[in-house]
Structure 1
Amino acid sequence: MLLGASVCLLPTAAVQAAAILEGDRSVPVDARNGMVVTSHYLATDEALKVLENGGNAIDAAVTAAFALAVTQPRSGNIGGGGFMLVSSETAGEVVAIDYREKAPAGATRDMFLDKDGNADSELSRYSHKAAGVPGTVAGLALALEKYGTLSLADALAPAIRLAEDGFIIPSRFSDGIGERADKLRQFESSAKVFFKSDGSLYKAGERFVQKDLAATLKRIAAQGVKGFYEGETADLIVAQMQAGGGLISLDDLKNYAPAIRKPVHGNYRGYDVYSMSPPSSGGTHVVQILNMLEAYPIAETGHNSAATIHLMAESMKRAYADRSEYLGDTDFVKVPVAGLTSKDYAAELRATIDPQKATDSASLKPGNPVPYESNETTHFSVVDKFGNAVSNTYTINFSYGSHIVVDGAGFLLNNEMDDFSAKPGVPNAYGLLGGEANKVEPGKRMLSSMSPTIVQKDGKNFLVTGSPGGSRIITTTLQVLMNVIDHNLNIQAAVNAPRVHHQWLPDEIRVEEGISPDTVKLLEGMGHKVSQQAAMGAIQSIMVAEDGTFYGGADPRRSTSSARGF
């Protein structure tokens, strides 16, 4: 168990984001023992209670994850999968738990191609075949068993209560259903859950009850992981598959297992950066981009200046080009992680960057490093007084995943099979290209961009962060690290700051509102195409100051975000 004597870490009341959110989610003035930052205030509240009652960060994280599966069904989940980083100052280690979904045994390489050999996006995104074998329940249970102190039943209790008794929905919940109503109504099992009996929408301020989901959670509480991967719930999943031509079988469910992996590790300006290893591309490319940028005087060129954004964009391009070639599930393919994250390789790539002029992406090819995932993914961060930290990102891919609820079980199926390369060279839903390393294979985990990250200084947890945002997860996480380390921003300012993104192809810098028009003109003068688009990510972060004070930063881009400490 990750408990033991540790420096007492003191949270703070200086979390400003809560003030703009719906309802009362303010941080207590005298906050001293733990911090939770999630994308939904109800999950934050339940996880904080666990810390207040003496639980550790892992206990609180698992509690938050199950609560999010109830209160934020568009992205919180038990029908998807994800990644968790756990850091223990006492043990002196950071471990990665991989509970990414797997392709069913019946999956085939060309399963998402039409009769003409073209990728069929409807089939890979909005059909029963789009679902990979869910990993969330097994992954959370493993984290709790190895590193927590609560029983699985205790960690599930708040989620069961929220599902059985219901909760008052905020406008974000009702608006989200309204935006996806047409897709959700296509499936009878989904319509029964997300609409009233007369077919009308739930409105903000009304109570939302999920009896079937409560029953599913009770089976997990009583039977452990077998309560999901075997027995009644498994039968309901398979029945749903058979009704719609899906592939997940009872054997697929029974045989699913999460994996404990070594996280990617890099060093940036004296800080140790730990992030998720493959089948996530996130950690590898966060470190790779930081390595390229480390040689530049980023603090001097300035926060979100044209010079800084240019260098970031050029570094991002080269990392995403490599992503298209090399990244995949290391249980199936060899991924040159050591090469991609080496300082020498970064120097080679940096030598190809003109500090005054944009490189045409069409001229860039994956290098030789030898020796768009949905914005509705969910991230949360937790720290405790024992020196433990958890950074967790999980997803069902699109908002509402495949939009298919398992009839009688009350939860949505993921559509993560779209994250495989249906056809090498053809972009997925997020414009990301993939190749042979990420082709569909039975039992394989699809490539992800999720980047739960923990930064340490001198062996002490310093920054816990991560975000949703599909292909923008990597660059969103990167920028919060740079905002704190290079630009010395406080954590809330680092989270709030306007973001930029380049993913090699399409060849454009995507920027949020807030980047100066003058800066845009300077970038265009360097040869960049600049496109202002919607907000990117919803990063939930915690920073630990040298004196042990916790500072939480909840992302205002998501109206229900909440940071709380005690």
Structure 2
Amino acid sequence: MPLASPRPKSCLAMTLCCLLLSRGMLLHAQTAISEEPIRAKHAMVVTIHHDATDAGLAILKQGGNAIDAAVAVAFTLAVVYPQAGNLGGGGFMLIRNHNGKTHFIDYREKAPAAATRDMYLDEQKNVIPELSTVGYKASGVPGTVAGLVYAQSHFGKLTLQQDMAPAIHFATDGYVLSAEEAQNLRNKLLSRFPTSAHIFQRDGEFYKEGDTFRQPLLAATLTRIAANPEEFYKGEMAKQIASFEQAGGGLITAADLAAYEVKDREPIKGTYHGYKIITAPPPSSGGIVLVEILNMLSTYDLPKLGADRSAPQVHVITEAFRRAYMDRADYLGDPDFTPQPIKEMANPAYAAAWRSSIQPNSPTPSKDLVRPAGFMPPPPQLQPVAHESTQTTHFSIVDADGNAVANTFTLNNTFGSGVTVDGLGFLMNDEMDDFASKMGVPNMYGLIQGPANSIGPGKRPLSAMTPTIVTTKGSLFHHARLAFVLGTPGGSTIITTVANDFLSVADNGLNIQQAADAPRFHHQYLPDRLDLEKKFSPQVADQLKDMGYTVNRLAVADEHNPGTWGDSELIAVDPKTHELLGGHDNRRNYGKAAGY
């Protein structure tokens, strides 16, 4: 059912007009780095790219709701942020309507029917370099188009053509590249594939700052999808994709595309200090690990331990990270194939048992961790490992009726597999690398996962993506009210970044902009190392070393952005004025929070 009764449909030209005029009409625009959030009375859009923010806001002003705006933003990011925004990838959309009803739209990629557990190993059972990360065989069946169309048709107010008009506009007429964006397009992976090098690099005549980047093939593809989205999975476009993949040695067939289905799942829910947490269920590991972390921290008064990012606070939060990531390593995968001990992991008594092992002034070495007995099933004995991409993108939207969307989607690595589909102009994912390629071999991040995430036909790979919506708990006499919309990219650091952001505002009094910009810390059980962003206080880092932590302050967890990770695009609701507060992560120079 739609979230509200549809308004009369406007013509396509109105959307484009609204989009083109939107920059002049905005009441709020983030023009300089500030510790103050952007404020708006009615609606807010926060994304990593200013054109995508404008597209979402234009749709809201045209009469669309938060879901329409999310569809517009996502398709626009496929044009203006090609390293992560996508048609050839997948992700998750968390929706909460103004009446409190929630949906988790799972449009994660799926393994092709021909996929096998050892498909990336040689005869000696060693991982073949790049086979799961580069080129045709790295791709899973994309879910983005199906997911966005599902969300729009079930919960939107406008038409798909209206919601896709901004993306078609930017693909047709182009958008102006900043210096950072032009540099991003020089990616060496793109240079390895002729179609990608032609589209994104002008066959070696690289784009420069101030150039207009047009994508006519992608514009034609978007126009075809807007007219008939089924074509992507069951029509001529599906045949084009399958023929292209198979000609390059990929596994995706027309039958794989036709069999793809979106899952409308029940979100994970938890509570913390007067808030209700609504977050991602498997095949995302993010939500349940976040809830487990917060359950462990629920009896602490963090401000009494010290200020935000003080050593005493970082210590107890890190120990919660360590324990929750141990459970993540052993148990989680695709819930359609493997039972998940979600209730056990979310059990407050289990969190209390874990909490009792946290020492007040010293870390517990990961090798010495002993899971509390009597709560969880025995963990699998073999532990495969899967790669976690750091190149994803998240956006947050709230509309004038109070409907909220948190959406995180990805191609996996930067520019995915590097392969652009001939004649269609969009990049394919390398999401098969999020499965475990080989048992017991640590990946480049040292992140371990259990056999539940082994490769199998039709399976969805485990993810750390954690789109999250937080409300007040409500009571018998008062409805729960929207409080925060949260999320970030960052691979294995996603869950800890969302936790960092939430704890900073909920417990430590930072505003949503300060939380987005605050230095991050991360521990994922193995390797036994506390990662700190480069701008983290050296004094606090030294205090943590003195406590016994192995500290890495160079943030090598994200090889694409040395010294930083993540990109929090956040919304809060002012509890006193009920204004919407937008916080755009200033680690990225071309994003924006904007509202009206």
TM-score norm. by structure 1 comes to: 0.94
Match of 2:59 in 1: 50
Alignment of 1:401 onto 2:416: yes
2:68 to 59, 74, 89: 59
1:367 shift after superposition: 5.8
Alpha-carbon separation, structure 2, partners of 1:271 and 1:310: 23
1:505 shift after superposition: 0.9
Match of 2:578 in 1: 548
1:127 shift after superposition: 2.6
Alpha-carbon separation, structure 1, partners of 2:432 and 2:347: 31
Match of 1:312 in 2: 317
**CA offsets 1:105-127 (integer angstroms, 9 cap, x no match):** 00001001122112234111113
Question: What amino acid maps onto 2:517 in structure 1?
Answer: N
1:418 shift after superposition: 0.6
Question: What amino acid maps onto 1:378 in structure 2?
Answer: T
1:195 to 187, 198, 201: 201
Question: What amino acid maps onto 1:536 in structure 2?
Answer: W
1:284 to 282, 288, 304: 288
Determine helix, strand or coil for the equivalent of 1:19: coil
Identity %: 47
Determine helix, strand or coil for the equivalent of 1:45: helix
Match of 1:441 in 2: 456
1:215 shift after superposition: 1.1
Question: What amino acid maps onto 2:139 in structure 1?
Answer: A
Match of 1:513 in 2: 534
1:413 shift after superposition: 0.6
Call closer, same or farther: CA 1:348–1:366 in 2, change over 3 Å.
closer
Alpha-carbon separation, structure 1, partners of 2:543 and 2:259: 55
2:565 to 536, 546, 558: 536
Alignment of 1:482 onto 2:503: yes
Alignment of 1:112 onto 2:141: no
Match of 1:8 in 2: none
Q: 1:257-276 to 2 correspondence within 5 Å?
A: 257-276=261-280
Q: Which runs of 5+ in 2 are unaligned?
A: 6-25, 378-386, 475-479, 556-562
Aligned-CA RMSD value: 2.0
Alpha-carbon separation, structure 2, partners of 1:273 and 1:19: 32
Which sits farther off after the overlay, 468-477 or 512-521?
512-521
Determine helix, strand or coil for the equivalent of 1:478: helix
2:168 to 156, 160, 168: 160
Question: What amino acid maps onto 1:564 in structure 2?
Answer: A
Alignment of 1:491 onto 2:490: no
Match of 2:246 in 1: 242
TM-score norm. by structure 2 comes to: 0.89
Alpha-carbon separation, structure 2, partners of 1:39 and 1:311: 31
Is the 2:117–2:456 contact (alpha carbons within 8 Å) kept by the matching residues of 1?
Answer: yes
Determine helix, strand or coil for the equivalent of 1:125: coil
Match of 2:92 in 1: 83
Is the 1:3–1:388 contact (alpha carbons within 8 Å) kept by the matching residues of 2?
Answer: no
Match of 1:428 in 2: 443
Is the 1:79–1:136 contact (alpha carbons within 8 Å) kept by the matching residues of 2?
Answer: yes
Alpha-carbon separation, structure 1, partners of 2:27 and 2:389: 30
Question: What amino acid maps onto 1:44 in structure 2?
Answer: T
Match of 2:487 in 1: 466
Call closer, same or farther: CA 1:108–1:68 in 2, change over 3 Å.
same
1:501 shift after superposition: 0.3
Alignment of 1:122 onto 2:127: no
Alignment of 1:144 onto 2:174: no
Match of 1:416 in 2: 431
Alpha-carbon separation, structure 2, partners of 1:436 and 1:358: 28
Match of 1:328 in 2: 333
2:216 to 211, 214, 230: 211
Question: What amino acid maps onto 1:474 in structure 2?
Answer: I
Is the 1:264–1:284 contact (alpha carbons within 8 Å) kept by the matching residues of 2?
Answer: yes
**CA offsets 1:214-241 (integer angstroms, 9 cap, x no match):** 11111111112x1211223212211221
Alpha-carbon separation, structure 2, partners of 1:159 and 1:366: 49
1:190 shift after superposition: 1.1
Determine helix, strand or coil for the equivalent of 1:563: strand
Determine helix, strand or coil for the equivalent of 1:514: coil
Determine helix, strand or coil for the equivalent of 2:185: helix
Match of 1:522 in 2: 543
Alpha-carbon separation, structure 1, partners of 2:94 and 2:38: 27
Alpha-carbon separation, structure 2, partners of 1:108 and 1:364: 33
1:32 shift after superposition: 2.6
1:184 shift after superposition: 1.3
Determine helix, strand or coil for the equivalent of 2:122: coil
Question: What amino acid maps onto 2:461 in structure 1?
Answer: M
Alignment of 1:231 onto 2:239: no
Which sits farther off after the overlay, 368-377 or 151-160?
368-377
1:435 shift after superposition: 2.0
Question: What amino acid maps onto 2:303 in structure 1?
Answer: A
Is the 1:542–1:553 contact (alpha carbons within 8 Å) kept by the matching residues of 2?
Answer: yes
Which sits farther off after the overlay, 362-371 or 491-500?
362-371
Determine helix, strand or coil for the equivalent of 2:568: coil
Match of 1:38 in 2: 47
Question: What amino acid maps onto 2:298 in structure 1?
Answer: E
1:16 shift after superposition: 8.4
1:153 shift after superposition: 1.2
Question: What amino acid maps onto 1:2 in structure 2?
Answer: L
1:18 shift after superposition: 4.1
Question: What amino acid maps onto 1:520 in structure 2?
Answer: A
Is the 1:15–1:551 contact (alpha carbons within 8 Å) kept by the matching residues of 2?
Answer: no
Is the 2:466–2:494 contact (alpha carbons within 8 Å) kept by the matching residues of 1?
Answer: yes
Ranges of 4+ aligned residues in structure 1 off by more than 6 Å: 13-16, 26-29
1:14 shift after superposition: 11
Alpha-carbon separation, structure 2, partners of 1:114 and 1:300: 55
Match of 2:355 in 1: 350
Call closer, same or farther: CA 1:16–1:144 in 2, change over 3 Å.
closer
Call closer, same or farther: CA 1:347–1:17 in 2, change over 3 Å.
farther
Match of 1:7 in 2: none
Is the 1:424–1:433 contact (alpha carbons within 8 Å) kept by the matching residues of 2?
Answer: no
1:467 shift after superposition: 0.2
**CA offsets 1:72-123 (integer angstroms, 9 cap, x no match):** 0000001000001100132x21210100000000000100112211223411
Call closer, same or farther: CA 1:367–1:335 in 2, change over 3 Å.
farther
Is the 2:38–2:581 contact (alpha carbons within 8 Å) kept by the matching residues of 1?
Answer: no
Alpha-carbon separation, structure 1, partners of 2:37 and 2:520: 26
Determine helix, strand or coil for the equivalent of 1:124: coil
Determine helix, strand or coil for the equivalent of 1:279: coil
Alpha-carbon separation, structure 2, partners of 1:77 and 1:397: 10
Alpha-carbon separation, structure 2, partners of 1:528 and 1:32: 45
1:17 shift after superposition: 5.3
Match of 2:192 in 1: 186
